[in-house]
Amino acid sequence: MTGGAALAGPDGAPRCPWALSAEDYIAYHDQEWGRPVHGDDALFERLSLEAFQSGLSWITILRRRPGFRTAFAGFRIAAVAEFTDDDRERLLADTGIIRNRAKVDATLANARLLAGWAPGDLDALIWSHAPDRAGRPAPRTLADVPAVTPESTALSRALKKQGLRFVGPTTAYALMQACGLVDDHLKDCVARRP
């Protein structure tokens, strides 16, 4: 990321500049991004969406999120793990989602793998890689926000070691940001947690 400090939004409150590039972003930025997310199904959804975002703009995924939720049974791991070849073909024809074969296949494979884990294992694995907040100064500008960290690299390795796909270090860091493992809201941003 490159860019400056927090900017005034439509209501005058300072926000991360990326949040002001489209109306859809403001609610996501203010209410979701950087807020702690727990639960295996909720984290599976975020992990899957971050994988689908790879190489694309997040706004593309955000605008199609309702379609993704419908297509992937609300990202309930147990339900997605039961998807058949017919379901796969349905997904690849669904214009409401990103119809990338490798990403669809990875999501299905990840669900099948995770269905064999004990409840809470995905949550525990992901959150075990949350860095100490005390050791991370609040970023002042977007230029201070990394794309990869040692923690995201370690999380990526741990997920891959378990057999999960489409979980590189950059995707892992985006997941960490989206799910509140790190708070990368800029120092002066209205959505930054105290």
- 54-77: buried (b, 16+ CB within 10 Å) or exposed (e) per residue? beeebbebbebbeebeebbbebbb
Q: Helices (DSSP H) in 32-84: which residue ranges?
A: 40-53, 58-71, 77-81
Q: Is 127 a residue of the active site? A: no
Residue showing tokens 């609040």: 138
C-beta atoms surrounding 146 within 10 Å = 15
Instruction: Give one DSSP letter per residue of 107-124, joined into a string.
Output: HHHHHHHHTTSPTTHHHH
Given the residues 33, 58, 127, 173, the one annotated as active site: 58
Distance CA 172, CA 148 (A): 8
> Considering 25, 33, 50, 151, which one is annotated as catalytic?
50
Q: Would you call 33 a catalytic residue per the annotation?
A: no
Known catalytic residue: 50?
yes
- Among candidate residues 83, 77, 68, 79, the one with its CA nearest the CA of residue 113: 77
- Annotated catalytic residues are 28, 50, 58
